[in-house]
Chains A and B, each alone.
Chain A
């Protein structure tokens, strides 16, 4: 795997972790919770090397 691809996977892990963290700390807005999870889907699919 080329170095640049590894770096992009690390960026993806970082963004996914941010989204999960925001999902966990959100207390009130259900709409934001849904948004965090929607944005998380393609990142998780990429990290699992599905899509």
Chain B
């Protein structure tokens, strides 16, 4: 064999080896399912495409869990994994699906709101593909997703994303970010179809509250807070003061900016009668000046570079050697959600929601997040859902 031909053959073989090795890992990640054990409170599970037919058969379609109480009352929706690289939202939502019992009213939970993003990975930043949570029966594995939907499901990106209907110019990447595509439209790009379907749930079910659960960098000013527009401000403020007084953690209130379009806490309030809230818990993993983006950093939130920056007062949250562990972030979300439901119920007794079984901040911190997940191997088949 001539030398050039031999070189080409060797290079071609190396190309195939790298392609198969890397490609298989990405393929497995995209098709990895998380088992969810529907708790006793889950009365029915439907698809988001039931409210937005344009999603049917696409990777953006996702499960919607209904927890309906025996007594009619208020209705609330919880949206998690709007950004699928902020897993505290997903874990809080799953913990609620597996444990909550609704006595009065209805709780609707969408744990993988941007389902396509949950099956996407972050190029370039070295994110782990999965993370595992220790439970009482072994460890439970979750997909680590990305902030934006996969280009496999919505492609190409525009040069500039023009928000519908306000026509505000946003970054091109925000066309795949479901927290920029509210209120959506039935015939728009895929991510606008996702938000349109969620708006349809709010309009058809006449929802009182919508809570969008997130995580934010410690160096980002809008972190450790409840973002609320004018109409939700009163409930958000009382909820923030109550968790501070009763449970000892901060979650201050940030106003929803009127001039920044596409965000859930702005558009849900403007285009429906539902009161929107967006919860942010600090997630050190997302900060730029950290060490390697490892599974450990994702779970315990400990980073020496952030610690150094905290000493220089460069962070927007208190930060010490204990980091900002997942238990703290998930527990904080659970307590704030419960307090928003509680405060709304007090103010609107005829539309109140009574929910039990959701652990509060101190319980999650003490027992760990995994303690509240049920073993799919020990659960009846008709209660297990793949997400």
Contacts and interface: CB of A to CB of B under 8 A. Distances in A.
Mostly helix, strand, loop or mixed at chain B's interface? helix
B156 A44 contact: no
A18 interface: no
Mostly helix, strand, loop or mixed at chain A's interface? helix
Nearest to B58: A1
A27 B4 contact: yes
Contact of B19 (A5, A27, A34, A45): A45
Contacts of A8: 155-156
B23 A45 contact: yes
Contact of B15 (A5, A30, A37): A37
B8 A23 contact: yes
Contacts of A41: 15, 18-19, 22
A17 B67 CA distance: 52
A26 B362 CA distance: 66
B348 to A, nearest CB: 43
Nearest to B121: A51
B377 interface: no
Given A4-B156, A41-B18, A51-B152, A30 B26 contact: no
B139 interface: no
A5 B156 contact: yes
Contact of B4 (A28, A34, A37, A49): A28
Interface of A: 4-5, 8, 23-24, 27-28, 30, 33-34, 37, 40-41, 44-46, 48-51
